[in-house]
Amino acid sequence: MEVDKFEWVKDIPKQYSVVSLDQLVDNSHRCQPEQTVGKIVQIVWTRGKIYPGLVLKIGDEEGNLSEEADGLAEAAAKNPTNRKTATGGKKKGKKRINEETAVKIDQVLAGIEERERIGNQIEGEPPMEIEENENTNGIVNENASTDNKLVDDYKEKYFALKIKFKRLKVKYRDLKQRIPETNEVELYPESGVTLASSDLASIKMASPKPTILARNLFRRLFSAAELSGHSLQGKKCNANQDKATLPAIDSVRRDAVINFILKEEGFDGPPATGNLAADKIFLKSKNTTRKEIVKSLSEFLREENKKLVNLN
């Protein structure tokens, strides 16, 4: 299958990708791909969206082109001229706010360090011995009086903040006890399968791929006995024709997991782009993602069953 390597026109820093010729919008470009090299063409990307891209190379080896694209992307990222600059008023405003915030943080930290230094002097360090004489006696007494007042002010503020912190700590503990720990959410609409929102959030954070997310959700929704004693769809596996067919795992929870992941990947419902080529790619991507999830879950259940057999 012929593929082409191209550069995304609007991306800064520059990004490079490899796609099949089927993703080119113009049919004439798909029929004569060699004429598109060096030209900007329209490419159907994820979820049926169309973006402009500059065609750099046509080839049959997708792996080689992918390595070249990765190399170009790394070089572009290291090139300072390809980095984003704050040119718009909104971005400048954000940069200015960040700088002001950083200055304020430095000031607060400096104040805290100063208070800690003074506190250490009060608690553990002996007072400084100053040799008095006729010329410096009045100046030393005046400075000592000023320093004592400053220390007293800091001590009062320190103890006041300490008391305020303890009160806030108690208030936070009370509020935490009043709020229920679990806030159940439905995994997929009308599925009836619920999960604690905190558990779902942590599972999603720990799952970088759809297939890993599917396995982690299965571990949360099914017991170890259910995982080891069932198959995904209750069908005989072609690779294990001599083994007994295991019963299908609960279809309600199984379908809720698969549909939830498809929704998270942007494949919930039919395509609505109005572009036949884009709709075709959308459906193809949806079916591919679903097959990957089903395959991964089937292998996962077989692995759990093998663990049980080895234990026995």
What's residue 132's pLDDT?
Answer: 46
pLDDT digits (tens, 9 = 90+) for 247-305: 999 999 999 999 999 999 988 888 877 788 888 888 999 999 999 999 999 999 999 98
* Amino acid letter, 43: I
CB 227 within 8 A of CB 304: yes
**Structural domains of the chain sorted by starting position, each given as residue range(s) with its CATH number in brackets:** 3-82 (no CATH), 99-124+139-178 (no CATH), 194-311 (1.10.10.2590)
pLDDT (tens digit per residue) in 207-228: 999 999 999 999 999 999 999 8
> Which pTM was predicted?
0.44
Q: 58 has which bridge partners?
A: 4
- Burial 13-38, CB ≥16 within 10 A → b, else e: ebbbbbbeeebbeeeebbeebeebee
Assess whether pLDDT exceeds 60 at residue 165: yes
Q: What are phi and psi of 53, to 5 degrees?
A: -145, 145
- Predicted confidence band of residue 144 (pLDDT cuts 50, 70, 90): low
244: burial class by Cβ within 10 Å (0-12, 13-18, 19+)? exposed
